[in-house]
Every structure is written in C-alpha cells, then in structure tokens.
C-alpha cells in the first residue's frame, strides 16, 4: 500500500476538516490565478492597443504619456491640437510623406452619453483608420485587419457617417442606420452637435477601438466650436483630401471646413517599411526645437514604461497579498494536520508497531500535507479559471477586453512545485510529531 493511499485514507477519515482546509488553499490559489491572468490581460491589452503603427504625433504641450493615453486609450483630457497644415506634412508631397506608409489624423473632444450616463469618446478621423492600420497581430505574427460585424466603413464624402466599436455599439444600443448626436466636450451637458448616421459596426478587436465612436472628420470639423477662427488673408479654400479620394465639395452637401481653420489632436503614423530608420527620423525631426507644435512618441516605449511604472508594481503588491493568503491557507493545513495528531497518534503507533520506521510515518504525514495542498491548489486553479470563464463575456461586453479564461500562464506551472515545497514545509511540524511518537506509551503498554 502506497504512502499516497495511506495519506488519502487519513484525509477521508477527517473529510470535513480536510475539505475546509482544502477550500482555504483553493481560494488562495484561485486568487493567485485571477491576479496572474488579469495582469497578463492588462499587459496584452496595453500592447495590443499600441500595435499597427510606430509613432503617434500629438500636441507639443503635453507629456508623452498624455499623448498615448488620449490617442490610444481614449483616457484623459485631449491635448491642445496642432494645425492641420502640420498633418499635411505626412501626406501627399509633405516633408515626411516618403517616410510614411499611412498617417491617420485623429480629432478628439466630443463624446456621446448613453441613457445610463456612460460616456463614449467620439473620434473624428478618416476611413483609413480601418483600412490602412491593422489593430494587432495574431499568434503567428500576422497583422489583423478591422472587420465589420455590420454595415461598412464610412465614406469621406459622406460627412455625417459614423462607425462604432463593438462595445460602444453594445452599450449605446445604436444600430446601423440609426442616428446619434455627439456632445461637445467630454462630459455630459454640453452642446449637442448635428446628428451622425451609424453606417458600420466593427467586429470585436479586444482593443480600445471597441470602446470608440468614430465619425467622419469632415463632419466633426463642422460641429459647433470645432473650427478655429478664420485668419485675415488666410486661404479659405475648402480642404483638399489626400490623393485618391474624391472631392467632398462636388455634391450639393455642406462645404468642408477650410484647412486654415482645422486642427488635429494627433496622428497615428505607420512608417514606410522599406525605410527602417523612418520612425527615428520622423521622431527626431518632429521633436526638434523648443517651440515645437507637436511631438512624436513611440507608443510601444510609453506602454512599456506604463507597464514597468504602474502595472508591474501593482502586480507585485497583489501577488504578495495573494501569496500571503496562500501562506495563511498553508498554516491552516498545518493546524488541521497538527490538531489531528493527538487523535492519530494511536494510528501512527500502530503503523510503527507493524514495522513502519520513524521516517516512514513522517513521510506519510508529509505526503498528506502535500496531497491536501495539491488537491486544494487543483481546485483553486479550476475555480480561478471558472470564475474567469463566467466573467469573460460580461467583461468583454462592457469593456471590450478579451479574456481567454482557459489560457494557462507559465507562472501557474510554477505553482505545483512551489506548493509541494510549501506543503512539505508546513507538514514538517506535524511530521516531526509523528516521528517522535512513543509507540509503547501510545499503545498503552508502559509496564
């Protein structure tokens, strides 16, 4: 009969106490799983959100973090914009155009409030946002392009068309063909703009795009408060689109805002892949000078900094807390086994009388401690992932963050040997008690 079976019989014998001890271990391990998975999801989310382009060109007055937070994650107050003419350096015959494969302008400052007072950012942009820039990479490193779960991309000539991210569509309830009015500013109560028609809803991407409402930049510019005052003597001609796009002034619709009155909050820049130093070149040129109007930021570096500065320390704190929980659970294993030692000393003495060495009875107790911890840990892993499985669709629906509940992290693999070592440690005290059992006294035959 193996030590495992002997230990298992002992666990069975004290089913209630063993179950409660195992449960405390399971809860501790489940918390560790949740911390690990949630942290990994956040890291992946951060990295995903900043994929598809090498640079963000944003207002020169803010910090690098603000540029990334407002442009990529749609968090915080948008930076002061820069003139449209600066954007034109990245397209057509502009100074940086040879180094650029795609440059997508972004205009921020509007929002849309749901009935339950949830606010979504309204982002003025161009259709290339969904055609020229991928939103991430698959497991094989291939680029993932935006797909529409309903409708189509907006057209540059239709000023009042909009595309919704999957979460924004779910939460606002807006459907293709419906209209909505953005609010000026990023809080409720401000002026309402002209209505936009939803023409497309994006398939989920697991990025911050899912939470965005994207409107045609031409319509955005025509909203109240979006135009810079016309300068005397400035060219008030309608803006001309980049080559390849039809002119929006051909029809009878509204005239586009003159370029001199336009501003851009930021530009997502996908560099020319044939020029490996393109990003460095653009970054160097844009950031040169003290009175710069804009700054170029490599989002991946900033994301890494955010991760190093904020997420990793938070994870360490959370992990320390959960490890403490596991330590408490381990102590409960110790207490449970140790308390049972007096009632089990008779069984141990019988085993010794049958020929079990001191080391053997010690081994049985250690195996019991390990078994109890491992069973608790296995239950904890199952519990942790089950909680994630239940929560994943809700989280995805509300935040657009994709959680893959049954993906196991490499850190989890360390749990098993770690717990065996830990269980051996906590089992040592009761095991020593077993080791020291006086057989003759315990079996009641002193004389």
Partner 1 sequence: MQPLTWVYDASFPPVTHAFRMLALSEVRKSYVEPDGTQLPILDVPQLSVAAGEQVVLRGRSGCGKTTLLNCIAGLTTVDAGKIEINGRDVVKLPEAVRDRFRARYIGFVFQTFNLLPAFSALENVLLGMTFTDQRADPQRAAELLKTVGLGHRLTHKPRALSVGEQQRVAVARALANKPVLLLADEPTANIDPAHQQQVIDLLRDACRQENVAMLLVTHADEVANQFDRIEYLEQVNRAAGVA
Q: Which residues bind partner 1 (CB under 8 A)?
A: 1, 5-6, 9-10, 12-13, 346-347, 350-360, 439-440, 443-447
Place of tokens 């963050």: 401
Cα(386)–Cα(391) distance, integer angstroms:
9
Instruction: Tell me how many degrees the CA angle 102-107-110 measures, rounded to the nearest 5.
Output: 150
Using the minimum distance from each CB to partner 1, give the nearer residue, 348 or 426.
348
Question: Least distance to partner 1 from the beta carbon of 444, Å?
Answer: 8
Q: What is the DSSP string of 372-396?
A: HHHHHHHHHHHHHHHHHHHHHHHHH
Using the minimum distance from each CB to partner 1, give the nearer residue, 308 or 343.
343
Buried/exposed code over 281-312 (b: 16+ C-beta within 10 A; e: otherwise)? bbbeebeeeeeebbbbbbbbebbeebbeeeee
Using the minimum distance from each CB to partner 1, give the nearer residue, 123 or 364.
364
Question: Least distance to partner 1 from the beta carbon of 300, Å?
Answer: 59
CA-closest candidate to residue 247, choices 206, 285, 218, 209: 218
Question: Least distance to partner 1 from the beta carbon of 4, Å?
Answer: 12
Question: Least distance to partner 1 from the beta carbon of 417, Å?
Answer: 27
Using the minimum distance from each CB to partner 1, give the nearer residue, 3 or 338.
3
Using the minimum distance from each CB to partner 1, give the nearer residue, 289 or 444.
444
Question: Least distance to partner 1 from the beta carbon of 10, Å?
Answer: 6
Using the minimum distance from each CB to partner 1, give the nearer residue, 172 or 340.
340
Helix (H, G, I), strand (E, B) or coil at 318: helix
Question: Least distance to partner 1 from the beta carbon of 447, Å?
Answer: 5
178 secondary structure, DSSP code: -
CA-closest candidate to residue 99, choices 289, 292, 285: 285
**Between helices 15-49 and 299-306, what is the axis angle to 10°?**
150
Question: Least distance to partner 1 from the beta carbon of 13, Å?
Answer: 4
Rounded-to-10 torsion of CA 53, 102, 195, 112: 10
Using the minimum distance from each CB to partner 1, give the nearer residue, 102 or 337.
337
Report yes or no: 86 and 285 within 8 Å, Cβ to Cβ.
no
């Amino acid at each position: 009969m193996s030590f495992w079976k002997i230990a298992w019989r002992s666990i069975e014998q004290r089913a209630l106490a063993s179950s409660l001890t195992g449960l405390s271990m399971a809860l501790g391990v489940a918390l560790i799983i949740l911390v690990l998975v949630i942290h990994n999801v956040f890291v992946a989310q951060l990295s995903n959100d900043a994929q598809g382009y090498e640079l963000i060109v944003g207002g020169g007055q803010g910090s690098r973090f603000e540029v990334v937070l407002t442009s990529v994650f749609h968090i915080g107050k948008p930076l002061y914009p820069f003139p449209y003419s600066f954007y034109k350096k990245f397209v057509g015959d502009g100074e940086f155009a040879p180094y650029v494969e795609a440059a997508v302008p972004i205009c921020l400052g509007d929002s849309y409030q749901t009935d339950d007072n949830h606010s979504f950012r309204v982002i003025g942009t161009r259709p290339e946002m969904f055609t020229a820039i991928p939103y991430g990479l698959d497991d094989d490193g291939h680029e993932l392009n935006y797909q529409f779960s309903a409708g189509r991309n907006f057209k540059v000539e239709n000023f009042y068309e909009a595309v919704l991210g999957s979460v924004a569509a779910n939460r606002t309830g807006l459907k293709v063909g419906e209209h909505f009015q953005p609010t000026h500013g990023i809080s409720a109560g401000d002026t309402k703009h002209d209505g936009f028609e939803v023409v497309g809803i994006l398939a989920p991407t697991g990025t911050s795009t899912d939470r965005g409402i994207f409107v045609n930049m031409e319509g955005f510019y025509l909203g109240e408060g979006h135009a810079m005052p016309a300068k005397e003597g400035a060219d008030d001609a309608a803006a001309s689109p980049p080559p390849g796009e039809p002119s929006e002034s051909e029809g009878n619709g509204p005239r586009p805002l003159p370029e001199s009155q336009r501003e851009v909050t930021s530009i997502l820049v996908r560099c020319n892949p044939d020029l490996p130093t393109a990003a460095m070149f653009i970054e160097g040129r844009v950031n040169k000078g003290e009175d710069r109007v804009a700054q170029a930021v490599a989002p991946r570096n900033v994301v890494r900094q955010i991760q190093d500065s904020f997420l990793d320390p938070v994870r360490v704190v959370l992990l320390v807390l959960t490890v403490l929980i596991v330590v408490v659970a381990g102590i409960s294993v110790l207490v449970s086994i140790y308390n049972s030692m007096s009632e089990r000393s008779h069984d141990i003495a019988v085993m010794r009388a049958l020929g079990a060495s001191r080391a053997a009875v010690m081994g049985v107790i250690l195996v019991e401690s390990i078994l109890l911890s491992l069973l608790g840990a296995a239950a904890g892993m199952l519990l942790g992932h089950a909680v994630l499985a239940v929560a994943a669709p809700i989280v995805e629906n509300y935040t657009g963050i994709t959680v893959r509940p049954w993906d196991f992290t490499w850190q989890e693999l360390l749990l098993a040997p770690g717990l065996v070592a830990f269980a051996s440690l906590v089992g040592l005290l009761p095991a020593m008690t077993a080791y020291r059992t006086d057989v003759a006294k315990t079996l009641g035959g002193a004389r």
